[in-house]
Amino acid sequence: MIRGKGIYKGFSNNEVLCDLNINVKKGSIYGLVGENGCGKSTLLKILNGIYDCDKGNVTCCDKGIFESPETKEKIFFMNESVYNFYGFSVKAMAKFFSTQYKTFSWERFKELESVFKFPSSKKMNNLSKGQKKQAMFWIAFSLKPDVMILDEPLDGLDPMIRKRIKEMIINETADREMTTIISSHNLLELEDLCDHIGIIYRGKIIIEKDLDDLKVDMQKIQYVSELEDTSVFDDDRFEVVKHEKRGKVKIEIVRGYKEEIVDVLENSRITFYDIMPLTLEEIFIAELEGKEYEYEKIMVR
Ligand SMILES: Nc1ncnc2c1ncn2[C@@H]1O[C@H](COP(=O)(O)OP(=O)(O)OP(=O)(O)O)[C@@H](O)[C@H]1O
């Protein structure tokens, strides 16, 4: 659905994105993660056609985005610019967006009054920070876009409305195959919502995978072993990406397939083991710490 190939983007002498590739499938909910300043917002602005890239190719349904107003009309983008609609009431904002998007539905806007519990006559500057974001979601769900691009959208919203908005995204995905790209630092939240994850590091997407596949080749294990300091996975077939010791218990995150790992555990002198679920946060930290380590090794040579 949305494809970016060989994207380069910089500001003055600061090269932010460098030969970045991204592939977002129709009907998926794609979580974009990465450290502060790694270029998530810049990429989202390129995918929405606000920025053109310096080099590379970005398409939505095989049509260029930056140069195509019809393609831009399929995409709704939400970031902190909600604060630009200062003197507008929610209804006036809806009127503005209804002129920009043919798909805008006033019927849907009316239905959503029961979700967003403030009148549409309220002016944006009289709403709280969280309510301003809610007003933008009210508009977003009324205009039924093919693609929603959301830059840290759930921060500052209360738990009830966050849950409701996540349900609405999931329903729109199931009902009409809406595609969503969402950036956030709240990995727990993304884990609940997304089916695909892209990790940006040093200008590139270093990992782009189905969330379940991301967990297939990495395992978290706790075990009690007679070996004092060495890991039972001290073997070329595996990479121990995290090692922690609590008394006699070792907790390790190991890159490798579950069957091979169980085989090692079953055939080692250990008194107990347990394979535990990995969180997205643990995978993210393990992958990025590994990359930092590789990078430092290159830099000190
Ligand atoms: N309009 C701009 N002019 C100059 N530099 C910019 C501009 N926008 C972004 N940058 C720079 O590009 C880099 C990436 O910024 P970006 O906002 O895309 O990162 P981010 O991953 O979204 O960060 P965060 O997680 O902190 O929100 C930063 O070094 C930032 O200073």
Phi then psi for 284, rounded to 5 degrees?
-60, -50
Mention every residue, 6+ apart, whose C-beta is less than 8 A from residue 206: 199, 200, 287, 291
Question: pTM (2 decimals)?
Answer: 0.90
Element (H, E) at 200: strand 196-201
**pLDDT, tens only, 263-281:** 999 998 888 999 998 999 9
Closest CA to 51 of 37, 34, 38, 39: 39
Element (H, E) at 254: strand 249-255
Q: Across the chain, what does the average pLDDT equal?
A: 91
> Which residues are paired to 9 by β-bridges?
17
Q: Whose CA is nearest to atom 24 of ligand 1?
A: 36
Distance CA(80)–CA(150), nearest Å, equals 10
Q: Do residues 121 and 134 make contact, with C-beta atoms less than 8 angstroms apart?
A: no
pLDDT of 294 reads 61
Question: Residue ranges of the chain with pLDDT lower than 70?
Answer: 82-83, 292-301
pLDDT of 301 reads 42
Distance CA(267)–CA(118), nearest Å, equals 63
pLDDT of 297 reads 54
Mention every residue, 6+ apart, whose C-beta is less than 8 A from residue 160: none
From the centroid of its chain, how far is CA 284? 11
Q: Which residues line ligand 1 (CB under 6 A)?
A: 11, 14, 16, 34, 36-42
Distance CA(275)–CA(262), nearest Å, equals 9
Mutate to test the pocket of ligand 1, among 7, 13, 14, 206 (most ligand atoms within 8 A of CB): 14
From the CA of 250, how far away is ligand 1's center (Å)?
39
Mutate to test the pocket of ligand 1, among 20, 42, 201 (most ligand atoms within 8 A of CB): 42
3-state SS of 131-144 is HHHHHHHHHHHHCC
Domains and CATH numbers, the chain: 1-74+146-162+174-211 (3.40.50.300), 80-145 (no CATH), 216-277 (3.30.70)
pLDDT of 296 reads 58
pLDDT of 82 reads 67
> Which residues are paired to 5 by β-bridges?
57
pLDDT of 293 reads 58
Distance CA(97)–CA(139), nearest Å, equals 8
Distance CA(194)–CA(210), nearest Å, equals 9
From the CA of 116, how far away is ligand 1's center (Å)?
31
